[in-house]
Amino acid sequence: MSVETVVIVGAGQAGYQTAASLRQKGFTGTITLVNGEAGLPYQRPPLSKAYLLGKLDASRLPLRQGSWYTDQRVELIHDEAVSVDRHDGVVVLRSGTRLRYDHLVLATGARNRTLEIPGSDVPEVIGMRSQADADRLAPLVVPGTRVVVVGAGFIGLEFASVAAHRGASVHVLDLADRPMARAVSEPVSRFFQDRHQSWGVTFGFGEGVTRIKETEGHVTAVVTTTGRVLPADLVVYGIGVLPNAEIAREAGLRVDNGIVVNADLLTSDPDISAIGDAACFPCAQLGYAPTRLESVQNAADQARHVAARLIGATADGYGGLAWFWSDQGDLKLQIAGLADGYEDIVELPVADEDTQKFVLCFRGDELASVETVNLPGEHMSARRLLSGASALPTPSDARSPGFDLTAWGRAIREPASTA
Ligand SMILES: Cc1cc2nc3c(=O)[nH]c(=O)nc-3n(C[C@H](O)[C@H](O)[C@H](O)COP(=O)(O)OP(=O)(O)OC[C@H]3O[C@@H](n4cnc5c(N)ncnc54)[C@H](O)[C@@H]3O)c2cc1C
């Protein structure tokens, strides 16, 4: 049966991109985008960066202006999907509206894990996910505010750098032994730790939070797992997310660390796809291990893949190269590939050791990821290399004198003539 009516639940990066790509690829049927948040669909990355710093105003957060949805005949409905009737092919909204679909795309994203400890229900304990969260936080981050950040992942550290640059005193806690431990290699962790310390940020590793002390409904201190009492006016947590998979589970779809999909991003029901932060997919770069990624690249590329499949324009399974970025102070971290389970690293020389870093991570002899700081050209070379090269450098190639990643990529693309 050909697909005439597509319903997309969730109007974040993945949901919006599905609608946009369907139209770009010539889909002429009906597209309905169910937006569970207020306002126009918007981008999240600036929330913990330029938006919080006041360098990007609210009018620049939306992914598209309102007229785009009208022009592209994408019906944007502000409502929440509460259930899926797979038998009749219908999504039921909180308002009672029933949306019939030929194909349903679940792009429901994820929500923050919350701090489940005594005292965490006071207003100055805030997680960072939505524009509303950033709007609550911005006025609280002023010179002299004592901030405790719980979680030294990307978002925690981005927030820490903004707060430190706005004159707050910032202490970061994490149960791991180094910053961004799940995402980057040890040298890159240590580099960021040093730079944050130079901005005045202090760290407690191997240390979590057991209790938040409050007086008259306001935070006064944080009690840590090692028994320290850290005075605080504001607690910001970034301790991971939970995929929004409830409506999928209740509809009888497979859920395991997200909505489980196959290599084509189809759920156990061939009329339902799942993408973005909510989806657990077989990741080609990790030997097809079930993986859930949280990044703009993943959300957008998976959306493009589903749109292409729906118009019958793709035969291969999803194989987008994972890449990420994080802006902290004057440092732009960019990662191409996935460092998970790396066994060997090679650090390449940089011109300015205070502001740049260049690290190759290997699983066995296989190049798994390339981490760069303030080296955008090298990041793009790494993406090109990891996306399509027939041969990748091994650790011994990378250690050989004069090794140049960009030249390597070029040599692979333009092999020397054998004539
Ligand atoms: C502060 C912050 C900074 C970030 N910075 C970066 C960065 O620098 N680089 C990067 O690559 N990534 C970054 N990310 C991650 C990136 O933004 C996400 O990976 C991406 O937004 C995922 O898109 P998504 O559409 O899958 O999910 P989401 O953006 O979470 O969108 C899902 C939407 O679905 C809605 N929804 C859920 N259930 C329902 C329902 N039942 N009915 C209707 N609507 C529903 C949600 O309310 C939400 O609006 C950042 C994330 C945050 C929070």
Contact 126 CB / ligand 1 (< 6 Å): no
Q: Is 44 in the pocket of ligand 1 (CB under 6 A)?
A: yes
* Mean pLDDT on 213-231: 96
Whether the CB of 134 sits within 6 Å of ligand 1: no
What CATH number labels 114-239? 3.50.50.60
Q: Whose CA is nearest to atom 32 of ligand 1?
A: 109
Distance, in Å, from the CA atom of 195 to the CA atom of 191, rounded to the nearest integer, reads 6
Ligand 1 touching residue 18 (CB < 6 A): no
Given CA atoms 372, 373, 378, 383 in this order, what sign does their dihedral have?
positive
Domain ranges of the chain: 5-111+242-310, 114-239, 330-413
List, for residues 304-329, the tens digit of each pLDDT value. 999 999 999 877 899 999 999 999 99
DSSP state of 70: H
Task: Select from 107, 139, 132 the least CA-distant residue to 13.
Answer: 107
Q: In this predicted structure, what is the pLDDT of residue 2?
A: 85
Q: E strands along 3-48, which residues?
A: 5-9, 30-35
Q: Strand, coil or helix: what is 151?
A: coil
Say which residues have a Cβ less than 8 Å from residue 279's Cβ, sequence separation at least 6.
106, 243, 258, 259, 260, 261, 265, 292, 302
5-111+242-310 matches 330-413 in fold: no
Is pLDDT above 80 for 409? no
Task: Please state the rounded mean pLDDT for residues 264-272.
Answer: 97
Mean pLDDT over 134-138 rounds to 95
Among 333, 296, 343, 383, CA closest to 153: 333
Q: What is the pLDDT of residue 417?
A: 44
Query: What is the edge-to-edge ordering of all strands in the sheet holding 366-373?
Result: 323-328, 331-337, 366-373, 357-363, 344-347
Q: How far apart, in Å, do the first and last CA atoms of the chain sit?
A: 52
CATH superfamily of 5-111+242-310: FAD/NAD(P)-binding domain (3.50.50.60)
CA distance 348 to 363: 17
The CB density around residue 274, as the number of other CB atoms within 10 Å, is 32
Return the number of other C-beta atoms located less than 10 Å from residue 261's C-beta.
26
- For ligand 1, say whether the CB of 13 is within 6 Å of any of its atoms: yes
Q: How far, in Å, is the centroid of ligand 1 from the Cα of 8?
A: 14
Q: How confident is the model over 42-47, as a mean pLDDT?
A: 97
The pLDDT value given to residue 73? 98
282 SS3 class: strand
Provide the pLDDT for residue 414.
Answer: 56
- Chain centroid to CA 119: 28
Using the atom order of ligand 1, give the atom closest to the CA of residue 111: 30
Q: How far is the CA of 295 from the centre of ligand 1 (A)?
A: 8
Structure tokens at 223: 């009690």
Q: What is the pLDDT of residue 9?
A: 98
Spacing, Cα 246 to ligand 1 middle (Å): 16
CB 105 within 8 A of CB 9: yes
The CATH code belonging to domain 330-413 is 3.30.390.30
How many Cβ atoms sit within 10 Å of the Cβ of residue 416? 6
Q: What pLDDT, on a 0 to 100 scale, did the predictor assign at position 416?
A: 47
Q: Residue 418 — very low, low, confident or very high, per pLDDT cuts 50/70/90? A: very low
Rounded mean pLDDT, 271-277: 98
For residue 412 the two structure tokens come to: 């692979």
Which residues contact residue 82 at a Cβ distance below 8 angstroms, ignoring those fewer than 6 apart? 92, 93, 94, 247
Mean pLDDT for the chain overall: 95
Using alpha carbons, select from 376, 352, 343 the residue that is nearest to residue 360.
343
Q: What pLDDT was estimated at residue 386?
A: 94
